[in-house]
Structure 1
Amino acid sequence: MNLRTIEDIDLKNKTVLYRAPYDIGVKEVNGVLEVSDDLRIRATLPTLQYLLQKNCKVVILTYVKRPDGQVVESLRTAPHARRLSELLDAPVAKADDCIGPLVLEKIKKMQGGDILMLENVRFYKEEIADDDEFAKKLCEGKDIIVFDGFPQAHREHSSTTGIERHLPAVAGFYLKKEVDSLSNLLENPEKPFTFVTGGAKISDKIDSINNLLPLVDNILVGGALANVFLKAEGRIMGSSFIEDVFVDEKKREKKDWVLYAKEILEKYKEKIVLPSDMVISDGIVTRIVDINKEEVPDGWMTLDIGPKTQNIFSDFIKKSKTVLLAGPMGKFEDDNLKEGTRSVLSAMKDVRGRTVIAGGDTVDAAGEFGNLESYSHVSLAAGATLEFLAGKTLPALVPLMQ
């Protein structure tokens, strides 16, 4: 995908509406609200430093979580502004709104090199509705949009597609890096290409699985996602989590995930590798079962891949030239159920090729078990990444295309 970027135009002395990816929750530390993690803020520093070098006035626009059109004190952008200021080692002013005369007055008083963080745009119900008049107000006083909100690029909101209807837009360095890295997986992956997928719900990954299956050499399935496929093979899974039938209200159709798994197992049997042993628990004790020989008893559920599967998955990964991991192998938050996810991430560090991790839980696990710099690319988006890997066009990227 060929995008128009900040290096393709003259930004000197411009007032920039910077669409940031700062949808980051907060936590209280010693009575003060702080961002829960700063990975997305760090990812945007090269773009912001470039804009400051061009003597731009930078007005930052983002939403934070889901205040549902209400002002929620704990979801203000003050903690984000404060952390950005620390990382940039530069002042970041804060506005108490994202539109209106007081905001415009602050923008008029800005000098080249100044940064202003606007308030959470989701405090307005018009944001999610992609209200055009609201989008127009968000653009007042600015010359151009620099778009780095890749994690929000699949949303049709006033602060994504809406603002792009009223001002010219270019991609920032962070967004370009995400698009280039993920495009490489779809267009030019070095073989063998192994896709490792886990997590809880197949509905979250169904489209990306469908799109990637013809491209990959192997797909290793762990997490609760594996339960659906194992049940499709006729295994008795006890009380293990298996996602219920999905009802698409718009299409007025039901989707039986076990039936779907059975269909793709028949079509891609040689590519799909399922666990051969799993860690199960009744809520009190844990033990390992050979899933090919034993049933998961009632009252017990699978919570991680077992040691034999860990070795099998690791062997596939180490022999690959491209590896994509999307989703943990088990309930890694529990100290007794970390080994499946840890083993996969450890094997990826030995790959002599390209390694990509994607999704919030996956990134959290990778950060817990080592250095994120050990991987070729860490995608900081969740839904947007999965939709991109599904081959879908993300609406906010369309105006950025050359």
Structure 2
Amino acid sequence: MRSDDPLAGVPLLDEAAVAPDSRWIFSAGFNTGPDLGDTGRVDAELADLRRLSDAGARVALLSHQGSSRDGTAIELDHVARYLSRRLGRPVGYHPGAVGGSALRAAGLMRAGDIVLFGNTRLLPGEEDGDLALARQLARLGDQVAVGGFSKAHRAHASNCGLLRHLPGHAADSLVREIRFLAPWAGRPPGGFSAAVLGGSKPEKTLIGLRHFSRAYDLVIPGGVVLNTVLRALGHGIGRSALGSRPDACARAAEAVLAAEGGATLHVPGTVLVVRAGERRAFPVRVTDGVPADCAIVDFVIRPWAVDLLRGAARAVVAGPPSLCRDGHTEASYTVLSALEGGNGSALLLGGDTVRELPWSGLSSTGGGSALEFLSENTCAVLDELRANRLTTAHRTGGARPSLYPPTDRSTE
């Protein structure tokens, strides 16, 4: 039976002995561009990095930016420079993370050194959780500290894969997010509950729509989730985006629509669309279908749903419900206005959500990881850390079998 404490059985970094000259791999989730527009995920790891360095550990940092699947993966030298400024000590940068050059760079590190190695998303097999790649990465150190809550749901080689080869510990950034989100996990304790889903990532449908439609009272889909639901209902959606896993999301939406009971699912009567090559949005009735050359960018929330949002005791917003970054704010600002004027407690999830929506209340930069945790009271990396504590693989040199097929928890 699952413990009520999501951190039960998870080894914690703040309880680990850090010996001088010990070799650590720190698996982070910095994921910030060269403009350093949002450094929250970097700043969250500073205290642990300083503690390891001050204790004389040699710290090999692994992190990512973008994805090799869509060509957005880039080098991370800008992060190393930012870390040097914030930590007040040099942080080296080595553009590769595997192979002889990376091993030589790790071997040259001295007590207290921190070196950020190349973007793990540039490595073939990283996003597939390739255990052979994880074995190569594991040669950079003897123990693993896992931070980066935003990637805690991803069974990637530099995340869960490392834990099948080396002993691991949960970094403070991971622990803080889990403890913060723990009261929100599972079914709400009482009162009316509402969830708003948006953005473009498939976990908003595959995890979020499935969970909240079972556990909450009202679900308002937006973004790609709404497009998927409308298509499943048989409405024309023109050239509206369906995300990177349209078939899997379509099956999930169809299952939710076919299920009896559960949450009330809000379906708008009017959506706002734009024509290809244009920016001005105009309204279209859902029952009329979206023209073939148009895409949904926003929608009008029905008055009864606004009233329910305003009266909700608990509300979660996972992803911007409309394309705010392009100036389409009808649904998003309606949601925020209702929640800010209500008497309940609301939580915003996801980096894009926090960046794009003007919100000063509770928030977590974890998107898919937070959804998985709220749904399951655990996530992939916590399960791996618990199993890692029990295994003797790190003493025998063998790797444990994967807990999950790589595609199960490695969605974009």
TM above 0.5, yes or no, is yes
In 2, Cα distance between equivalents of 1:97 and 1:258: 41
Q: Structure 1, residues 337-371: CA drift from partner, whole Å, max 9, x if none? A: 123213323444455554322234323312xx35x
Give the TM-score normalised by structure 2.
0.74
* RMSD between aligned residues: 3.8
Amino acid of the structure 1 residue aligned with 2:258: E
Q: By how many angstroms is 1:18 displaced?
A: 0.5
- DSSP-derived class of the 2:309 partner: helix
Q: By how many angstroms is 1:109 displaced?
A: 4.8
Q: Is the 8 A contact 2:18 2:52 kept in 1?
A: yes
Q: By how many angstroms is 1:59 displaced?
A: 1.7
Unaligned stretches of 5+ in structure 1?
Answer: 28-33, 249-253
Q: By how many angstroms is 1:106 displaced?
A: 4.4
- For 1:2-401, list aligned pairs within 5 A: 2=7, 3-13=10-20, 14-24=22-32, 26-27=33-34, 34-35=35-36, 37-67=38-68, 75-100=74-99, 102-125=101-124, 127-128=126-127, 130=129, 132=131, 134-140=133-139, 142-187=141-186, 189-191=188-190, 192-199=192-199, 204-229=204-229, 237=236, 239=238, 241=240, 243=242, 247=247, 259-260=254-255, 262-264=257-259, 267-268=261-262, 271-282=264-275, 286-288=281-283, 295-296=288-289, 298=291, 302-306=296-300, 309=302, 312-335=304-327, 337-350=328-341, 354-366=345-357, 369-370=358-359, 374-382=360-368, 384-391=369-376, 394-401=379-386
Amino acid of the structure 1 residue aligned with 2:333: R
Q: By how many angstroms is 1:218 displaced?
A: 2.0
Inter-CA distance 173–203: structure 2 relative to 1 (3 Å threshold): closer
Unaligned stretches of 5+ in structure 2?
Answer: 1-5, 390-412
Inter-CA distance 67–263: structure 2 relative to 1 (3 Å threshold): closer
- DSSP-derived class of the 1:329 partner: coil
Q: Is the 8 A contact 1:228 1:257 kept in 2?
A: no
In 2, Cα distance between equivalents of 1:222 and 1:141: 43
In 2, Cα distance between equivalents of 1:273 and 1:177: 33
Amino acid of the structure 2 residue aligned with 1:40: R
Give the TM-score normalised by structure 1.
0.76
Query: Would you say how many aligned residue pairs link Structure 1 and Structure 2?
Result: 373
Identity %: 23
- DSSP-derived class of the 1:167 partner: coil
Q: Is the 8 A contact 1:227 1:240 kept in 2?
A: no
- DSSP-derived class of the 2:144 partner: strand
Q: Is the 8 A contact 1:60 1:116 kept in 2?
A: yes
Q: Is the 8 A contact 2:314 2:344 kept in 1?
A: yes
Q: By how many angstroms is 1:115 displaced?
A: 1.5
2:399 corresponding residue in structure 1: none
Q: Is the 8 A contact 2:210 2:252 kept in 1?
A: no
- DSSP-derived class of the 1:179 partner: helix
Amino acid of the structure 2 residue aligned with 1:320: A
Amino acid of the structure 2 residue aligned with 1:83: Y
In 2, Cα distance between equivalents of 1:48 and 1:74: 24
Inter-CA distance 162–346: structure 2 relative to 1 (3 Å threshold): same
- DSSP-derived class of the 2:85 partner: helix
Q: Is the 8 A contact 1:225 1:242 kept in 2?
A: no
Q: Is the 8 A contact 2:26 2:59 kept in 1?
A: yes
